[in-house]
Amino acid sequence: MGAARIVVVGTGYVGLTTGACLASLGHRVTCVDVDEAKVARLSMGRVDILEPGLADLVERGLANGRLSFVVGARAAVREAEGVFLCVPTPMGAGGSADLRAVEAVTAEIGDALPAGCAVITKSTVPVGTAKRIRAMIGRRDVPVVANPEFLREGTAVRDFLNPDRIVVGSDSPTAARWVGELYADLAAPVVLADAASAELVKYAANCFLALKLSYVNSMAELCERLGADIDLVTEGMGYDRRIGRTFLKPGPGWGGSCLPKDTSALVKVAESVDYDFRMLTSAIGENIAQRDRVVAKIAGACGGTLAGARIGVLGLAFKAGTNDLRDSPALAVSSVLGALGAEITAYDPAVSGGIDGMTVVDDPYQVAKDADVVVVLTEWAEFRNLDWLAVAEAMEGDDVVDTRNLLDPRVILDAGLSWQGIGRPRAAKRQIAFTADAL
Ligand code: UDX
């Protein structure tokens, strides 16, 4: 396929990555947003999202003329061969996906689309959305294709350009094949499907990942109670190729902009066809239980009560490598700690500015100052390399709770502190020599 004329509606993290990457594959891409100031910034190559490689691709696309940014979808689509819908589909009332943005764009562009132009959903949308868009547009000459993204924040560009697979689904096989061809240079397997199956793949994959993590977090709890070590258990499990070694790390619970909303949405979708997806409901419940267990562990380190405790928090983003706070387990844990009376000082290398209920500082050592307990909530590698002796000196207490099993317990013990992770034996200060050897 030669260069296709593509319009991408929505310049959030999915839309901007999609637009910039499709331009880097040689297509002519116009990115549209309703936010004029954002369009002006992007047209000058200014990218607000922390996403490695994205700003470079935007700059290159602007320079070679394959990428442009405009306001107004209706005018932009008039010459398009394909229009990607990359607008937000947040969690709406009752846990279902809120499709108002998708519907608004569809209504805006429907009769302006040239004949044969494919409308392609990229954001995660409930099963049946392609059909609904088709009915809304009401034109036989405009096919609708579901082409879900599988981008992780922090590695979105790499994921886009090195996909495990491309999924395209439509009731028009020709349109689905055409969308698959847009990615021909990526040499990834293409799964051609009907629209409903393609839409479901995204939920099925994300919800499976959530199940995997809730399972690991439950297993970590079991390890603590049985005196086993989750790191060794998951290492032993992971060599089984049917299970795989990734996505097996326990933590303070799973979060971010996708897993929580997609799990809730799929439970709702299942309900709508009278299926009680108990396995998924229980994974969601387990995620809340995990947050509460982490809070209880921190309370324990504070001597049983959080009222008046000074807690130093390392990490606020939902995972390392991003500044995204949406549905961040670190914020969820912090807010429960705050509600129970703890005083929180937090540091995150990618987050600045005010957050209700805590003091955010721009120096990791400041969180340690007079802290009773220091808690690692996001797995930023730089926390591993802190001067833990300096942290110990600044602290009032001597407990470190590492909810990401990120730190080397020996380093923490050597600094004269105690370490406890998730699903691993505690390394207590009093048993320095013995425990350090045992680790
Ligand atoms: C996810 C999916 O991975 C991606 O395919 C989809 O397109 C969007 O949703 P993302 O939200 O960027 O991507 O985050 P991801 O890296 O999947 O992590 C999700 C959550 O699970 C985070 O809170 C993370 O900290 C947690 N996690 C992940 C763990 O606790 N342990 C792990 O081993 C992996």
pLDDT in tens, 165-209: 999 999 999 999 999 999 999 989 999 999 999 999 999 999 999
Report helix angle 54-64 to 13-24, nearest 10: 50
Which atom belonging to ligand 1 lies closest to the Cα atom of 253? 30
* Rounded mean pLDDT, 379-402: 98
Confidence label for 432 from pLDDT (cuts 50, 70 and 90): very low
Same-domain check for residues 180 and 298 = no
Furthest-apart CA pair in the chain: how many Å? Answer: 75
DSSP designation for 327: T
Instruction: For 345-371, give one letter per residue: b (16+ CB within 10 A) or e.
Output: bbbbbbbeeebeebebbeebebbbbeb
- Identify which of 209, 233, 264 to mutate to test ligand 1's pocket (most ligand atoms within 8 A of the CB): 209
| Alpha helix (H) residue ranges in 246-394 | 259-272, 278-301, 329-339, 364-368, 388-394
Instruction: Decide which of 128, 158, 193 is a domain's last residue.
Output: 193
Say how many Å lie between the CA of residue 133 and the centre of ligand 1. Answer: 29
**pLDDT for 212:** 98
Residue 207 lies in a domain: no
Q: Is the pLDDT of residue 433 over 80?
A: no
Say if 38 falls within a structural domain.
Answer: yes
Place of tokens 């993204």: 149
pLDDT band at residue 300 under the 50/70/90 scheme: very high
SS3 label, residue 3: coil
Among candidates 158, 133, 203, which has minimal Cα distance to 57? Answer: 158
Going by DSSP bridges, is the β-strand pair 144-146/118-121 parallel, antiparallel, or unpaired? Answer: parallel
**DSSP character at residue 97:** B
Task: List the residue whose alpha carbon is closest to atom 10 of ligand 1.
Answer: 152
Instruction: Give the mutation target among 258, 261, 262, 323 for probing the ligand 1 site: most ligand atoms within 8 A of CB.
Output: 258
Please tell me whether residues 160 and 302 are part of one structural domain.
Answer: no
- In terms of Cβ atoms closer than 10 Å to its own Cβ (0-12, 13-18, 19+), residue 198 is buried
Domain count, the chain: 2
Q: Residues 325, 184: one domain?
A: no
In a domain, 37, yes or no: yes
Write out the two tokens for 379. 């797995």
Q: Residues near ligand 1 with C-beta < 6 Å?
A: 149-153, 206, 209, 213, 247-249, 251, 254-259, 318-319, 329
* 212 assigned binding-site residue: no
Q: Which of 90-99, 240-249, 250-259 has the lowest mean pLDDT?
A: 90-99
* Amino acid residing at 198: A
> pLDDT tens digit string along 52-71?
999 999 999 999 999 999 99
Considering the domain architecture, whether residues 311 and 172 belong to the same structural domain is answered as no
CA distance 58 to 45: 6
Helix H or strand E segment including 191: strand 190-193
Residue with tokens 């721009």: 362
User: For residue 361, what is the domain's CATH number?
Assistant: 3.40.50.720
* Ligand 1 atom showing the smallest separation from residue 246 Cα: 33
Distance 336 CA to ligand 1 centre (A): 22
Rounded percentage of the chain residues whose pLDDT exceeds 90: 91
What average pLDDT does this structure show over 42-48? 96
**Residues shown for the chain:** 439
Asked, for residue 221, whether it belongs to a domain, the answer is no
Kind of pairing, strands 399-402 and 373-376?
parallel
Q: Name the residue with tokens 């299970």.
A: 243
User: Is 406 among the domain residues?
Assistant: yes
Look at residues 163, 178, 193 and tell me which one is the last residue of a structural domain. 193
Rounded distance between C-alpha atoms, residue 45 and residue 32, angstroms:
15
> Which residues 6+ apart lie within 8 Å of 39 measured at CB?
11, 33, 69, 70, 71
C-alpha 197 – ligand 1 centre gap (Å): 22
Alpha-carbon Rg of the chain, whole angstroms? 24
Does 184 fall in a domain? yes
Q: Which residues carry out catalysis?
A: 258
Domain that holds residue 376: 286-438
Q: Would you tell me how many other CB atoms lie within 10 Å of the CB of residue 227?
A: 7
- Judge if 188 and 308 occupy the same domain: no
Q: Is 89 annotated as a binding residue?
A: yes
| Domain closes at, from 150, 166, 193 | 193
Tokens of 279: 């396995």
Question: Does the pLDDT of residue 398 top 70, yes or no?
Answer: yes
How many whole angstroms from 213 Cα to the centroid of ligand 1? Answer: 9
Establish whether 131 is an annotated binding residue.
no
Residues 45 and 187 in one domain: yes
Q: Which atom of ligand 1 is nearest to the CA of 156?
A: 12
| Claim to verify: residue 24 and residue 152 sit in the same structural domain | yes
- How many alpha carbons lie under 13 Å from residue 271 in its C-beta half-sphere? 11
Neighbours of 125 (CB within 10 A): 23
pLDDT at 411: 97
Per-residue confidence band for 97, with pLDDT thresholds at 50, 70 and 90: confident
261 labelled as ligand-binding?
Answer: yes
> Rounded mean pLDDT of the chain?
95
Whether 183 maps to a domain, the answer reads yes
CB atoms within 10 A of CB 45: 16
Domain membership flag for residue 118: yes
Within 13 Å and on the Cβ side, how many CA atoms surround 18?
31
Q: Phi then psi for 431, rounded to 5 degrees?
A: -110, 35
Stretch 279-299: mean pLDDT: 98
Burial 167-194 (b: 16+ CB within 10 A, else e): bbbbebeebbebbbebbeeeeeebebbe
In degrees and rounded to multiples of 5, residue 320 shows phi and psi of -70, 155
